[in-house]
Amino acid sequence: MKPLRISFVGTGHVSWHLSDALFQAGHHIQEFAGRSLEKAETYARRVEAEPLGSTALISPRVDLIFLCVSDGAIAPVAQQIPKGPAILVHCSGAQPLLQMPDRPTGVFYPLQTIRREKRLHWPSLPLFVEGSDMECTALLFDLASQLSQEVAMLQSEERKKLHLAGVFASNFVNFSWLLAQDLCNHAGVDPELMHPLMEETLAKCLELGPEDAMTGPAYRNDTQSLEAHRELLNQQPRLLEVYNTLSKAIQQRFPQKNKHGS
């Protein structure tokens, strides 16, 4: 595809990586708008774009404007952009396609946990696109295909469900590891001792699937270990509640294991 003129609104983790990837793919990043002009300058400099301290100053006469802002700000920010031919594109998994009768809109959703400090491997990163019309969808699909080998079209409702699954697969798992770190610190044990277990858990899950990789006292109906753990958590009621909720969910998911105690 021919090089596109692209602008960005928002100076967060997604815009940091996506602007660079599109710049490296040969597209022209025209403007970078943010609430802080100083921060916008940092983002703009690396992709040879013009920094702007206000969304209202952005030019609508480009091909695409990526709205890389918080979910609640997507619609209000879109209303601030002057009218023009640019396609307004957001990158949220949880928000629907913007409904703006007077201009084209799209979604460009990367299914990945993204931090500015950690490089992304774009070729294997799943990207999901949606457009307000077929032409817009095709453009976004071709653009995504320049970055990744895993590109698909996905409607808003299905994307929302995928985003929810991602919260369980990433955010909740990460939080569980944070709780494990807290427990290690409380016991005076180096949390890094958990790293081989964490690595093996993920590797086994990917190789065998989460159901066949399942282990642990709740899965085995090991009531003695469960009670010992609850006793240790008696002075931490919130953590005890998490432990009981997850243990009960595991026991309900694997009733045969609990029935036979195997």
Q: Give span(s): CATH 1.10.1040.20, the chain.
A: 159-260
Mind listing the pLDDT tens digit for each residue in 3-18?
999 999 999 999 999 9
186-238 tens-digit pLDDT:
999 999 999 999 999 999 999 999 999 999 999 999 999 999 999 999 999 99
Query: What is the rounded distance in angstroms from the CA atom of residue 33 to the CA atom of residue 73?
Result: 14
CA 225 to chain centre: 35
pLDDT beyond 50 at 51: yes
Q: What pLDDT is attached to residue 1?
A: 87
Q: How much is the average pLDDT of 140-160?
A: 97
- CATH 3.40.50.720 occupies which residues in the chain? 5-154
Q: Domain 5-154, what architecture?
A: 3-Layer(aba) Sandwich (3.40)
Asked if residues 247 and 230 have their Cβ atoms less than 8 Å apart, the reply is: no
Sheet of strand 64-67: strand arrangement: 50-52, 28-33, 5-9, 64-67, 87-90, 105-110, 127-131, 151-153
Instruction: Retrieve residue 234's tokens.
Output: 């008696």
Q: Do 89 and 65 meet the contact criterion of CB atoms below 8 Å apart?
A: yes
Side chain identity at 195, as an amino acid letter?
A: H
- Predicted confidence band at 261 (pLDDT cuts at 50, 70, 90)? very low
Q: Is the pTM of this model over 0.85?
A: yes
pLDDT in tens, 24-40: 999 999 999 999 999 99
CATH, domain range 159-260: 1.10.1040.20
Cα four-point dihedral sign 100, 155, 28, 16: positive
* Among the ranges given (91-95, 222-226, 256-260), the one the predictor scored with the smallest mean pLDDT: 256-260
* Spatial separation of the C-alpha atoms in residues 262 and 222, rounded to whole Å: 9
Nearest alpha carbon to residue 114 among 236, 257, 233, 10 = 10
